[in-house]
Amino acid sequence: MVELLSHCLNRMFHNISASIEETKDHLSALDGVIGDADHGVTMSIGFQAVKAELSRRNVDAMAAEDLMNTAAMAFLNSVGASTGPLYATGMWRAAQALAGAADATPAIQAAIVKGIADGVRERGKGQRGDKTMLDAWIPAAEAGAAAVRRSESAEQMWREIIAAAEAGADATRSMVASKGRAARLGERALGHVDPGATSAVIILKAMALTFCGNAAGTAKSAERGTPRFRRAETHEEAGKGSRS
Ligand SMILES: [Mg+2]
């Protein structure tokens, strides 16, 4: 039986929320070095709100596009910081890419990643090299598009998406921020990874877990000592224990 796309997206948001809950202290600590130490809390509030809003809906009766738009509004309404409009715009772009889609094919999965990257880029008027979440999202979107052109399996595509996003996030260490609070730090931010790029990788790994049953690149992350992500097969399991 093929899983409904809206059901799959609901699982995706539960998996993202669970992964953010597991890593929010780490994300806030990273933000504390170059920002205001709220990034983990901000992301937690946003995805908890998405999860809560979706739990009030009959997701199986929703079109995938509507589900993604609902998630965008819930995230926007709960997150006041700049991250709110950035991710909400990303989710709106992803919703447009989902119009009429019924199955979570690799092309649709890649289109969600590209939609988020495009929306964040538009809203933030940013680009690669700004030391932001775009340093993870843009290479991830490019890797997804390239994988679709090569007709790769979902597993192979997600390995490449995660590898590209991790390399992009790592590269922010050697960047000086031009946007956000970190920009005021100038060269003092050198050597520190951007928390927004780090949470982007966490989100992408939760997406990989959702779409192909494993967090592509997890072995690589474990080697680096970053947290491993709990596997959640169903949205009931995914919802469990994700409150802190
Ligand atoms: Mg902050």
Q: Using 50, 70 and 90 to split pLDDT, how confident is the model at 216? A: low
Determine the average pLDDT of the residues in 233-238: 41
For the segment 123-146, what is each residue's pLDDT rounded down to a tens digit? Answer: 999 999 999 999 999 999 999 999
Q: Please check whether residue 26 lies inside any domain of the structure.
A: yes
> What pLDDT, on the 0 to 100 scale, is given for residue 112?
98
Render 91-139 in DSSP notation, one character per residue: HHHHHHHTTT--S--HHHHHHHHHHHHHHHHHHHT--TTSSSTHHHHHH
CB of 227 closer than 8 Å to CB of 164: no
CB of 49 closer than 8 Å to CB of 77: yes
Render 143-182 in DSSP notation, one character per residue: HHHHHHHTT--HHHHHHHHHHHHHHHHHHGGG----SSGG
> What pLDDT, on the 0 to 100 scale, is given for residue 153?
96
State how far Cα 151 lies from the chain centre: 23
CA of 170 to the centre of ligand 1 (A): 19
Q: In total, how many domains does the chain have?
A: 1
> What pLDDT, on the 0 to 100 scale, is given for residue 215?
63
Q: Please check whether residue 31 lies inside any domain of the structure.
A: yes
CA of 7 to the centre of ligand 1 (A): 32
CA of 180 to the centre of ligand 1 (A): 9
> Is the Cα torsion angle 157, 158, 162, 168 positive or negative in sign?
positive
Q: Please check whether residue 52 lies inside any domain of the structure.
A: yes
Structural domain span for residue 216: 5-239
Q: Please check whether residue 220 lies inside any domain of the structure.
A: yes
CA of 16 to the centre of ligand 1 (A): 19
For the segment 164-200, what is each residue's pLDDT rounded down to a tens digit? Answer: 999 999 999 999 887 766 777 778 888 899 999 999 9
CA of 225 to the centre of ligand 1 (A): 23
For the segment 33-74, what is each residue's pLDDT rounded down to a tens digit? Answer: 888 899 999 999 999 999 999 999 999 899 999 999 999 999
CA of 22 to the centre of ligand 1 (A): 18
Q: Please check whether residue 17 lies inside any domain of the structure.
A: yes
CA of 47 to the centre of ligand 1 (A): 16
Percent above pLDDT 70 for the chain: 86
Q: Please check whether residue 67 lies inside any domain of the structure.
A: yes
CA of 182 to the centre of ligand 1 (A): 9
> What pLDDT, on the 0 to 100 scale, is given for residue 103?
92
Q: Please check whether residue 244 lies inside any domain of the structure.
A: no
Query: Does the pLDDT of residue 236 top 70, yes or no?
Result: no
> What pLDDT, on the 0 to 100 scale, is given for residue 187?
81
> What pLDDT, on the 0 to 100 scale, is given for residue 2?
65
> What pLDDT, on the 0 to 100 scale, is given for residue 232?
40
Q: What is the pTM of this model?
A: 0.87
> What pLDDT, on the 0 to 100 scale, is given for residue 178?
77
Q: Please check whether residue 138 lies inside any domain of the structure.
A: yes
CA of 26 to the centre of ligand 1 (A): 13
Query: Does the pLDDT of residue 92 top 70, yes or no?
Result: yes
Q: Using 50, 70 and 90 to split pLDDT, how confident is the model at 1? A: low
- State the CB neighbour count (10 A cutoff) for residue 7: 16
Question: Domain of 83: which CATH number?
Answer: 1.25.40.340
Query: Does the pLDDT of residue 240 top 60, yes or no?
Result: no
CA of 36 to the centre of ligand 1 (A): 4
